[in-house]
């Protein structure tokens, strides 16, 4: 299975920048999207169907133009889980899961901590989603959680770890949570296969950051431990430029 995850920072804006051509060329079996910022009735869904994705699922925030996730599939899943059942999360459209025979794939958009109120919200979400996923894996052991985690785990994952150590996304508490997440039974598939520095998935629009590769690795394909031997490839697709993020790819054999 070829899985791609992409924070598109607005699917309608990405569509105007050649997103469909990129999707057809990349040809994933499953595409997880985050920050779509759209409801289904705001999109021409036939575009995705004509591109080979007749099974597409959208979980949108109550607030229009905000947050929201989606999953596009070539094959029909056995089951689709919209949200987590945790009200405050689901109001912002942050989790959507599709279940197949051998693996389940979740698109997750973890909050950013842009101010004190949102940082508190982020920490609450982090605690609750970790407990939710621990329980979920008892039922579904073969689980992939793709998406924008809004956290850089290690110094290697950010261009300037010293100056950013007090910035949300690289706070000690956030990094410790990411370690706890992995220790709970997940594998960071990219770092499992790739140890090189300067590998990022998000760049600020300011100060020519992307051209200078002053970025952050915020996007992950986390794979539950029973799938470890199935990890064939994990890559960052930095050539895609429809967003301030770029997509990530995971291939399972």
CATH number of the domain that residue 98 is part of: 3.60.10.10
Q: pLDDT class for 115, splitting at 50, 70, 90?
A: confident
Distance CA(36)–CA(116), nearest Å, equals: 24
pLDDT tens readout for residues 59-109: 999 999 999 999 999 999 999 999 999 999 999 999 999 999 999 999 999
Stretch (H or E) spanning 92 = none
For residue range 167-217, what is the model confidence (pLDDT) as tens digits? 999 999 999 999 999 999 999 999 999 999 999 999 999 999 999 999 999
Cα 202 from Cα 164, distance rounded (Å) = 14
Instruction: Report how many domains make up the chain.
Output: 1
- Mean pLDDT, to the nearest integer, of 42-57? 98
Residue 223 token pair: 């794979």
Residue 116 binned pLDDT confidence (cut-offs 50, 70, 90):
confident
253 half-sphere exposure, CB direction, 13 A CA radius: 7
pLDDT band at 24; cut points 50, 70, 90: very high
Establish whether 148 is a catalytic residue.
yes
Which residue range(s) make up the domain with 180?
A: 2-252
**Residue (of 155, 35, 134) closest to 126 by Cα position:** 134
Which of 148, 157, 188, 219 is labelled catalytic?
A: 148
* Residue 98 and residue 71 in contact, taking contact as beta carbons nearer than 8 Å: yes
pLDDT at 38: 96
């Amino acid at each position: 299975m070829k899985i791609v995850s992409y924070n598109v920072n607005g699917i309608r804006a990405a569509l105007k920048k050649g997103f469909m051509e990129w999707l057809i060329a990349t040809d994933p079996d499953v595409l997880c999207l985050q920050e779509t910022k759209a409801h289904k009735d705001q999109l021409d869904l036939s575009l995705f169907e004509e591109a080979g994705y007749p099974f597409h699922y959208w979980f949108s925030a109550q607030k229009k133009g905000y947050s929201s996730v989606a999953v596009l599939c070539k094959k029909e899943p056995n089951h689709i889980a919209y949200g987590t059942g945790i009200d405050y999360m689901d109001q912002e459209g942050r989790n959507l899961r599709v279940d197949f025979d051998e693996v389940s794939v979740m698109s997750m958009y973890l909050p950013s901590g842009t101010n004190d109120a949102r940082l508190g919200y982020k920490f609450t979400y982090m605690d609750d989603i970790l407990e939710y996923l621990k329980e979920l894996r008892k039922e579904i052991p073969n689980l992939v959680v793709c998406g924008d985690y809004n956290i850089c785990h290690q110094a290697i994952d950010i261009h300037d770890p010293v100056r950013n150590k007090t910035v949300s996304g690289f706070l000690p508490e956030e990094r410790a949570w990411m370690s706890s997440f992995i220790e709970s039974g997940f594998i960071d598939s990219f770092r499992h296969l790739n140890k090189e520095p300067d590998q990022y998935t998000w760049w600020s629009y300011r100060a020519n950051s992307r051209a200078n590769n002053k970025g952050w690795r915020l996007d992950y394909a986390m794979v539950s431990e029973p799938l470890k031997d199935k990890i064939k490839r994990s890559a960052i697709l930095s050539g895609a430029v429809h967003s301030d993020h770029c997509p990530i790819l995971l291939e399972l054999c």
